[in-house]
Structure 1
């Protein structure tokens, strides 16, 4: 239903995860009888969690840890691990910077050129850990480094930006032809973010195996403040899930996975993302709270050190527990930041669903109380 902003402008009412809630059904289950496994292409994971390609969340070592815990760690191939032989002192410096100097100093640190040999070595380090290997590049860097990534033996390739379209227009640079690129690539590609039905449908038509849903929804992002752009996630995920359904019919049965990426600060948000139609979720802030995450309680993304227009901050998110405790518990807090798997299983069991595909059909209501 459109709402009149003024005589010359109307707007659609949309919803964030805080605005909705799932509803129990007539049947309940034992949480031990619930499956939260997830598959994309030839790869199956015990939990539907991808660790966001952010330096505060994923290092080669934590990518291996997350893989061993049943998820997928995605390494940022434009981060400090691809720029410096030993990034640990720089990570320590970023964590200790005073707030008024953080952005400018991070811009200097990330001005160091990306090195193809470091991309190769970091991905090899993850592969040696015996887990699925995933790396991420922005659309702007994909043309330059994708061959290095593929030659290094990546299993899943992620093209992630604030927003990614299938029809980028530029007067100065030859844009990335996503459809041609994905067709010629030998590995599954996850691409995004997208926040609307139309944008997602176009990305699905490029041959992507998965679409990331989100736009500036993370705790470290100021995209809404800087650019005035924001996509409330409950509506965005449901819209993109609608595009998945229609593309399934259009393509004669090709299923594209929907991955919520942003606004997922608690286990309840993860539950609601899947209830709105997501197949899996990409987690940043939630995993940055791990004591063994590279940020050590601090969190930042690529937007925080953009050379011309930073659209994010380095933020202190605190520490909840180890990666294993955050994923599997036991939880020592009652705020939805630990034992994410247990919370998801319990919510599915309470509403009577046995797997994630079934749970996407759960009844959802618009809640009359925001943020509780």
Structure 2
């Protein structure tokens, strides 16, 4: 069965769906929300919540990574961000939050032009480790070969290699690309890698030995990838495709399970519910956590694409402050817009459809039902 649509006589395209295009269907059974488990385990690390924080300066500082870890999630620090470029990045974070929109990109490029300092990578990761929570840090594929030894020596528990898109078969005529399979094989810690947005790309990443694959391609609130590059991956279809790759790789590898983590398009509680319903094991949250009063972005949100020195593919966006980190995750909710009590909403959705844990909930029925704003 094909769902391709004829765009013109010389081109056809497959129909793809965003989270706004799909909805979860109730089943014949319901449960009490307190009987539902939303725990998640990757490799040897167990988390009470299926939530990772996006490695963005507007979302994660060492302090907020610790706070999220104590609440049951996993904070991931951007090891190419301001925290590894400046002894005290607070003045720069404050300045970014006050920049005029027309000036923001250029000034951010200047601020982020300071070099990454290996001793600060070590100091920030050790600060998180001293708090007794799981330690995770992220590098882009371009910086991984330069800084991975520093990251591992600092005592990271989970290593994240994150880019707009990450390929197991990158080709370059200018430099030797990162050999992901060899790198992951030689590393002593689990690696989460992405993004990937297609079945084939995800399957190749799984074959490198990654413990988890991030699903997405510039689909977050602060990305402009679609308007700047013309590339976009509707997330419901992307997650379902990568979940199919996980299933097939499980058979191919004789039982090796690779976790699927949605990275992008999960701004509100309903998106989180639908991400897991489409097959995700966990979600990586950016804008949703940037709305917390503790977030370093002070009500603004941006990613590394926003200050790229040659081709910015993102922007600084104002997301406001909805509540504390604890309120965003656990409530109580003061509004009905899906910005508060994300985990409560997930529990309620799972209970309403009769599922007791995240793995079971991946089997829930989903329908195509494009969202109609009122």
Q: TM-score, normalised by structure 1?
A: 0.99
Q: What corresponds to 1:211 in structure 2?
A: 213
Conserved 8 A contact 2:20-2:370 = no
Unpaired stretches in structure 2, ≥5 consecutive residues = none
Task: Note the C-alpha offset of 1:315.
Answer: 0.6
Alignment pair present for 1:343 and 2:339: no
Q: What corresponds to 2:32 in structure 1?
A: 30
Alignment pair present for 1:288 and 2:290: yes
Specify whether residues 335 and 13 from structure 1 end up closer, same or farther in structure 2 by C-alpha distance, changes over 3 A only.
same
User: 2:158 is matched with which residue: 156, 159, 174?
Assistant: 156
Q: TM-score, normalised by structure 2?
A: 0.99
* Structure 1 moving runs of 4+ over 6 Å: none
1:322, 1:81 → 2: CA distance? Answer: 22
1:52, 1:2 → 2: CA distance? Answer: 33
SS of the residue aligned with 1:198?
helix
Task: Note the C-alpha offset of 1:370.
Answer: 4.2
2:35, 2:91 → 1: CA distance? Answer: 45
SS of the residue aligned with 1:358?
helix
Alignment pair present for 1:361 and 2:363: yes
Q: What corresponds to 1:320 in structure 2?
A: 322
Task: Note the C-alpha offset of 1:369.
Answer: 3.5
2:262, 2:47 → 1: CA distance? Answer: 16
Task: Note the C-alpha offset of 1:29.
Answer: 0.1
SS of the residue aligned with 1:75?
strand
Q: Deviations over 1:139-170 (max 9, x none)?
A: 00000000000000000000000000000000
User: 2:313 is matched with which residue: 311, 314, 317?
Assistant: 311
2:293, 2:373 → 1: CA distance? Answer: 26
Conserved 8 A contact 1:19-1:370 = no
2:305, 2:259 → 1: CA distance? Answer: 25
2:296, 2:92 → 1: CA distance? Answer: 11
2:131, 2:312 → 1: CA distance? Answer: 34
Q: What corresponds to 1:58 in structure 2?
A: 60
2:370, 2:301 → 1: CA distance? Answer: 31
SS of the residue aligned with 2:92?
helix
What is the root-mean-square deviation in Å for CA atoms of aligned residues? 0.7
User: 2:280 is matched with which residue: 275, 278, 281?
Assistant: 278
Specify whether residues 7 and 364 from structure 1 end up closer, same or farther in structure 2 by C-alpha distance, changes over 3 A only.
same
User: 1:112 is matched with which residue: 103, 111, 114?
Assistant: 114
Conserved 8 A contact 1:19-1:371 = no
